[in-house]
Structure 1
């Protein structure tokens, strides 16, 4: 299976490339700037045509959550118009599409895990732009798979796990919010989920599985819990550690509102595609071990 993934340096794009190194039946073609630039929709068609994929993964996006509050036009250009351009070309080429979205499409006020049937109500520009992207993708490529994920981390790029380890290099204590809950998700598990979905699409056809799905690591945690686990693993491997102080979200104000509850029910994905990510603690352990050099 030959997969074209938009964005060259994103966590999912790099994890897909890593997965392909382990799997001789998988070939990943990263497509990004300057050849493909979501801000320039005209660049999309030629880049995807040249990649000649069996499956397109639309992973590139504007992800600066707080900055999006001041750059609304750019966020929508990339997350809505750019996503639409990718989906439109995938449809024109007759190629299946998996489009990545986010927990931020919800307001975070539900008790329990969000299902795909729950009402979307984003509270930030980032979340609203990603929701609009979902709608545009479905409008021009009705057979697409929309894959919402959350709290993504990996050895690559900027993410919470790497940030905590970096802070522990220079601080004895860190303050972390304990009233935001979610499902930490290893980007390599997203790559494995994409592979499973791609295989199912190949077997059953895109029409049979088109729709919106949730995919995250198994289990749940607060950011405080994640930090405690990161430092527990880091200590075991001789890496940096710090004391973790639990604080409320009100003590750490941000420009964009974060969902208090980002927990996503992933049973639909597991039922249809036959894959479920392992417990988030196992994946955190794997990533921390790699980051501290063991």
Structure 2
């Protein structure tokens, strides 16, 4: 597949480069997401057969102090990409987030549940989803959560660093979700785009997250155990760890639709964690 990918250094983009080295990856120098028209122009000039947006403003707390910038990158740029793809008849897939929900309740969120982002990041990603849908054409949005890999900044790497330095760590235990290996997200994206190219009726909004659901504290315990670190994890409530942006307490995602329509199952995050830890210690 002649695939054009927005993003080069992010976690999913790095995994895509390993799985689909023939794809073309656009870093900020080639397509700055703060300039939506530049993104549209890059697609028009590419001659590609499909487009994947794996780039975003993902600094959740910083987004609170730069809402306009986050909106340009997470909402305006993907919408411009989607409009261009619709005009050219190209399948378009963009990655979104569990932060579009307010985190209430305890049930896994389905794609048709009401949204209610708690902060700028989630609001900007939701605006991007809506802009993509309004563009028409053949599109898909993949909401995911708690992404981790051996690359970039993520919870696993933070825990490994702190766990090697300290005897104990206080970690939030009242937020629930599914840690998701970036490699699994990359594979899901490639599977979806291949199916979309084969069937113009394929597309829409989908959820994809690792299994089983857990808490940040239990995820941290699994990281320490897997890495052989003796750091003790102490459960704390979210109220004991204030951040500029509020986090959803319930990030569980129902992933039945992507299994039904694309045959993609939820990945086992524990197996994914073992692979990432092996890569980091190799």
Please, what TM-score do these two structures have when normalized by structure 2? 0.96
The 1-side partners of 2:237 and 2:281 are apart by 29
Per the alignment, residue 112 of structure 1 pairs with 107
- Whether 2:156 is the aligned partner of 1:161: answer yes
3-state SS of paired residue (2:226):
helix
The 2-side partners of 1:77 and 1:166 are apart by 33
Which of residues 188, 193, 196 in structure 1 aligns to 2:191?
196
Per the alignment, residue 233 of structure 1 pairs with 226
Per the alignment, residue 6 of structure 1 pairs with 6
Equivalent runs, 1:174-193 vs 2, <5 Å: 174-193=169-188
Q: Which runs of 5+ in 1 are unaligned?
A: 22-26
Q: Which runs of 5+ in 2 are unaligned?
A: none
The 1-side partners of 2:52 and 2:94 are apart by 6
Q: Displacement, 1:142?
A: 4.3
Per the alignment, residue 211 of structure 1 pairs with 204
Q: In terms of mean alpha carbon deviation, does 211-220 or 42-51 score higher?
A: 42-51
Q: In terms of mean alpha carbon deviation, does 56-65 or 135-144 score higher?
A: 135-144
Per the alignment, residue 78 of structure 2 pairs with 83
- Whether 2:272 is the aligned partner of 1:272: answer no
Contact 1:193 1:276 in 2 (8 A): no
Q: In terms of mean alpha carbon deviation, does 272-281 or 144-153 score higher?
A: 272-281
Contact 1:142 1:210 in 2 (8 A): no
- Whether 2:271 is the aligned partner of 1:282: answer yes
The 2-side partners of 1:245 and 1:218 are apart by 23
Q: Displacement, 1:241?
A: 4.3
Number of residue pairs aligned between Structure 1 and Structure 2: 282
The 2-side partners of 1:15 and 1:8 are apart by 10
Q: Displacement, 1:5?
A: 1.2
String of CA shifts for 1:232-278, please: whole Å, max 9, x gaps.
1111xxxx441111111010011111000001011100110011132
String of CA shifts for 1:210-237, please: whole Å, max 9, x gaps.
21100111210100111111111111xx
Moved over 6 A (4+): none
Contact 1:17 1:28 in 2 (8 A): yes
The 2-side partners of 1:218 and 1:51 are apart by 37
Contact 2:168 2:234 in 1 (8 A): yes
Please, what TM-score do these two structures have when normalized by structure 1? 0.92
The 1-side partners of 2:116 and 2:92 are apart by 25
Per the alignment, residue 89 of structure 2 pairs with 94
Per the alignment, residue 24 of structure 1 pairs with none
- Whether 2:15 is the aligned partner of 1:15: answer yes
Q: In terms of mean alpha carbon deviation, does 132-141 or 46-55 score higher?
A: 46-55
Q: Displacement, 1:59?
A: 1.6
Q: Displacement, 1:287?
A: 0.7
